[in-house]
Structures are given as structure tokens and as C-alpha cells.
Structure 1
Amino acid sequence: MLKNTLKIALLSTLTSATIAHACTSIAWNTDQGVLTSRTNDWVEATNPVLGNINKGTLRSIQGAGQGDDYLVKYDIVAVLAYGELVHDGVNSQGLQMNALYYTPMTIPEKNSNNSITQFTFGEYLLANYATVEEAINALPQLKVQKLTLAVMPMDIKLHWSITDKSGDRAVIELDKEGLHVYRGEIAMVMTNDPSFKTHLKNRQKYEPSWQNADRNTDFGSKGNASAESRFIHASYYKSKLTEPTSVQNGLMKIASVPFRVPVDAPYKDFGNGMTVYATEWTLSQSLETGDSVMEYNFENNWNTVKFNVYDLMGKEFRQPLMVNAISPLFSN
């Protein structure tokens, strides 16, 4: 049943997707613990659902009902897109994963039933590893291959960030040069392509101007929604954050840092005329306490939902995040 549900959800994802996600993910180590925030920018509603994946569950290793089953080691609370596709999540050990679009992703086509695909890679890390260190050490042994379906209008290509309660963080990219892992303080901000290596070089050019900046300083952002500009924007404003007075204060601060793409913003012509997209939602979380704030701003929905991922571990639920339907979870 789970395989069939996942297959339907993933087919829906691929059929309705027409452009690449353009998102931002950031992490901040503070005296209040590790805080994170990410935006999900997209052309349409992904209808995110907050759901559980519990330890001991059997999951399809490739998604879409394909491949072998594997056993989940840790409880997970995740944002599920288009049904059962794990978009973001936190496990019971405090490891968090964000998936962002990355055009240069280069991996072999699926040719075996025991390989992990780009759709399940992030989920698999959450299900099996407690820390960034564990996950990074396991990467060379993981066989990651691309799942391609006939209904797919375009390749879905991704890269990932993983962050844990200790403050360790890594950005993982798989491209034509192979596996690249960027770790530590340099990895606290990520967007989309070009490569993370290119983003770091761009940032180094502008960082010297940030020390004595004021409102008129040209800190390197172009002021548009390109990935390069959003990377510089988030890096600059994160560098100006001062220690939060509480977890709540810290979540508010970090949520203000990513560039939020305005509604109806023009993006790119993919051959069918100019495409527009916007920030559908922003998710800010404390990996220490589990406190989370989802801000949903799309179509007719304008809503803020607060929940705690650790309080929800081990439960059985699926709750929409477009509207505030989370309260029943805490009355069980």
C-alpha cells in the first residue's frame, strides 16, 4: 500500500512539475542551539503535508514503488510534497535534511533494484544516520542512480544539505566531477546551481566590503531572484545576525534572512513563454528544541503553523500545512 501511495505521489510530482525549484537553505549556530530556515520557491502549490515515517517501517529505496525495501532505523517527521515525496525532514536524533534543485546533478541511470535514487536519497540519510559525520562517512558506499519515468516532463535533479544538533552541516552535490561535500561554516548557506564551489568564489569577492557596511553598501547582490544573487543576499544578512535572546527570537531572525521571491515574479522562458514563480513556503526550525514554524503564502492560503518535530516523533499522522490543522496532533 505504501509503495502504491508513493508511486502515485511521485508520478503526480513529475507530471505537474514544469520548472526547477529555486530555493534557499541556511543554518545558524547560536547560544540557543542550531537554527535553520529554508524557502521553497515554485511555480505551483506543492500542497505540503506534515507526516511521519516511523522506525521499523519498510520503505521503497527508489520511490515510485520501485526497487528493494529497506528498514527505517530512526523516526522521522517530514514535509511531504505532492503526497509522499520527502521534501525536508528531521529525524529523532536531530539530523535535518533539505532537498533543493540542482541542474548539474550527474548520476547514472537506474540499473539495479538496490540503488538509491535522487528522489529517496535525502529520506534515506534521515532514515539511517544520526549525525552529519555518520552520513558523510557512508556516502562513498552509497549507490545513487537516477530514476527516470516516461511521464517526466523534465529531469528532476537535486542537491542536499544535512545539518545536525551539534552544529555540523554539509552540502552534498553529485555532478560530472563526482561527489562533492562542502562542510562546516562555509556550508551554512546554499541555493541552486551553479556549483557550490562557484558560489563560494563569488562570495569571497564581496565579503571584504561587509565589515563596515551600511544601508548603501553594494554587498554583491544583484537584487534579483537568481541563485547567485540569493546566495550572496542570504550570506550577507546572516553575517549580520546577533545572538538571539530566545529560540523564538532566533527563529524570527533567521526566517528574515533568505530572499523571498515575490508572487508573480518573472523567472525564465523554457520555450512556452515566460514562467513565473514565488516563495510558496518558508520553514524555520530549532534542531535543539524541535520548535518549527511553517509560513505558507501561496494562492488563497496565507497561514503560519507552529509545531514541534520531537513531540510528533513516533505518531501516525498526515496533516496539511497550507492551513492550520496541526492542533489535533497534540490532543491525542
Structure 2
Amino acid sequence: MIMKQLFGIALSSSLSISLLNHPATACSRILFNTDHDHVVARTMDLYMPDHPNVVAYPRGISRDGAVADSKTVRWTSKYGSVTVNSLGIATSDGINEKGFVANLLYLHGTQYENRDRRAGIANYMLLQYLLDVSATVSEALVELDKVQVVSVKAAGREWPLHISISDASGDSAVVEFVDGVKVVHRGKDSAVMTNEPPLDWQLNNLKKYSYFGGTESLPGDIDPPSRFVRASAFLKTVPVPKDTREALAEAYSIAKTVSVPRGAKNTSVGVSSEDTWPTLWTTLADASNRLYFFQASGAPNMFWIDLDKVNFTNGAPVKYVSGDDVSLAGEVSKKLKIFKNK
């Protein structure tokens, strides 16, 4: 299966052990809706390099859910997509040709449902499944009811995760697994997502701050609740953009307010002061115009892919560019390279 073979990397045992001893990722996601534009900005903050590749998948790819039992889900992709592949195995972010957007983030307290009779899908495969088969948030939520998300080790460890999804109409949802129960937040309360605690707690905590009826001023640290408050406040106060260019710029500017500089320390109670998770890359997904932007934190430039310029037909090759290539800039669909199985 292509997902299992694509960009495989060998991680040393010492690296795997270090990941087990540290909170691994602390990303942020912001949905910026206007009357005509629906833009998702997302940061990937990770304890170690994820060697991202921006991958264009055509329709018609056969996949399975990577769960080691006879009940793993099997499907064929209905829609083409452009995604970020992290750590050689996980689809961590992406948009499909219908403008459906999905983001995979870390949530330390995630507790998945007890295994039952439903077809299983590995948590790191869930985004690709939804991008392959869903054109809208409504369709994706129906698909989620058909399968069961199972925690499967990737890169030497298990990853407690939650997801956000949105579509070209501006509809949005956040899906979490709390105390073994699937929890779905849909609509305006799902515009911002960071990490732990779960979204219910984050929304309640928001009420303490001046922009949301409370008296406290905006926090400035890098902890997930503080990033959630800042992103929510700036999302509420930025001016209405005149056009798509301004919508993209404003979404990007909010993402930069919650990005984590290299060397910044986690100050959460009960967490080692040595724990860090710098922002590795940032994406912008323009669902209205089917544009997907990528910028590595170490790169001076942003590049993007216009999905209308990608060949998504059945049988077309899987193509990619490396997110570590700091020379990339502008629209890069012509620079996509064919992935060849070895």
C-alpha cells in the first residue's frame, strides 16, 4: 500500500524513547470564514523534525485502515487530495479537490472508544480516509460513524489525537475522544483548536478574558490554553477582508501569533521546563479557491499548489515535493515529482 511505503524513515531506538518521555506536539488551527472565503490556517509544532512532504494523491487509490485485525476498513479514494505527510507515515493535514479540509492535532488526554464490531482505522490514517471519501463536513461525520478510530503505533509510539474538519461552505467541526466517548463540536465553537485540555474546557476558560465577557487580558505564553485564547481573540477582532488575498493574509497573521519560536519553553504546570515544541511549518488551505499553501519555519518563502492544476484522474501518478526544500516559492504544481515505489 502506497501510504505504508511512501517516504518511510528509520527512527533510532533512542529517538523513539525520547518521544515517549515528552509531550510530542502542540499545534494550532484557525478557521477564518467570510461571506466568500473559507480559509484554514494551521501550525505544526513538534518535538522533533517530521520531514514533511506535500503529496498530491489522485482518485482511485486503494487503501486500508492499517489496523491489525480482519475488521480494518478498506476503501478506494473518491476524491484527489493534496496533503502533508509527516514522519513518513501519517497524513497530518490536507485539502481535497472539493475544498474539504482536515487537520490532525495532538490531544494528550485522548481516550479512544473500546474496540467493537465496527471496521477499524488507525488514528494516523483517519485524515486520509476522510479526505478520500468526503466532500463536506456532513459527509465526513457520517463516515466517522461507520468506522472506529484505533490507536496504532507510528514512529515508535502511540499518538493521542483529535481532528478538525471544514468545507467549502464554511461548515466546521472538531472531533475528540474524551473518556472513551466521541465528542463532536460543530459550528462557530469549532473555529479554533489547539491541544489539551479538550475543547469543552477551552471554551469555558475563554469566558475569563475581556474579549469574551471576562476581565483578564490576553495571555502571552505558548501553552495550549493561551494559544487558544489569543487565536480566538484575534479571530474575533480582525477587520472584514476585502478579498481573498486579505483573507489569506489575515488568517496567516493569526497563525503567526500562536506559532512557537525555536527555544521557547513550555510553562504548563507539571511539565518539565525543558519541554519544547517549536513550530516546524504552517499551512493555509483556501477551500473556496482550492489553493494549498505551505511554509517551513526555516524557509524565507511560502509555496502553494493550485489544485485545479493537478491531475487527479484515476491512474495518475502520486506526486510530491519536499517540505524541507527551502528553495521552493510560488505555485509549484509543475515541480511535483513522481513518487516511485522501490
TM over 0.5: yes
Q: Deviations 1:124-155 (Å, cap 9, x if unpaired)?
A: 11111111011113323222212136x72x43
Of the three residues 84, 90, 97, the one matched with 1:85 is 90
Q: In 2, Cα distance between the equivalents of 1:63 and 1:243?
A: 45
Partner residue in 2 for 1:21: 25
Of the three residues 48, 51, 56, the one matched with 2:60 is 56
Q: Which moved more, 1:91-100 or 1:42-51?
A: 42-51
Give the superposition deviation at 1:110.
6.9
Partner residue in 1 for 2:301: 303
Partner residue in 2 for 1:236: 233
Q: Which moved more, 1:87-96 or 1:106-115?
A: 106-115
Gaps of 5+ in 1: none
| 1:19 alignment partner, SS class | coil
Q: In 2, Cα distance between the equivalents of 1:242 and 1:294?
A: 24
Q: Which moved more, 1:191-200 or 1:4-13?
A: 4-13
Matched, 1:257 2:262: no
Query: Are the counterparts in 2 of residues 241 and 253 from structure 1 also a CA contact under 8 Å?
Result: yes
Matched, 1:76 2:81: yes
Q: In 2, Cα distance between the equivalents of 1:281 and 1:56?
A: 29
Partner residue in 1 for 2:182: 179
Give the superposition deviation at 1:35.
1.1
| 1:253 alignment partner, SS class | helix
Gaps of 5+ in 2: 337-342
| 2:25 alignment partner, SS class | coil
Give the superposition deviation at 1:303.
3.2
Partner residue in 1 for 2:266: 267
Q: In 1, Cα distance between the equivalents of 2:310 and 2:212?
A: 42
Query: Are the counterparts in 2 of residues 54 and 74 from structure 1 also a CA contact under 8 Å?
Result: yes
Q: Deviations 1:71-92 (Å, cap 9, x if unpaired)?
A: 1111111111122421111111
Partner residue in 2 for 1:318: 320
Q: In 1, Cα distance between the equivalents of 2:305 and 2:120?
A: 34
For this pair of structures, how many residues does the alignment match? Answer: 322
| 1:62 alignment partner, SS class | coil
Normalised by the length of structure 2, the TM-score is 0.83
Matched, 1:104 2:105: no
Q: Which moved more, 1:227-236 or 1:124-133?
A: 124-133
| 2:79 alignment partner, SS class | coil
Residue type matched to 2:240 in 1? E
Matched, 1:117 2:118: no
Partner residue in 1 for 2:166: 163
Query: Are the counterparts in 1 of residues 99 and 286 from structure 2 also a CA contact under 8 Å?
Result: no
Of the three residues 32, 39, 46, the one matched with 2:36 is 32
Report the aligned-residue RMSD: 3.3
| CA 1:328–1:243: 2 relative to 1, 3 Å | closer
| 1:274 alignment partner, SS class | coil
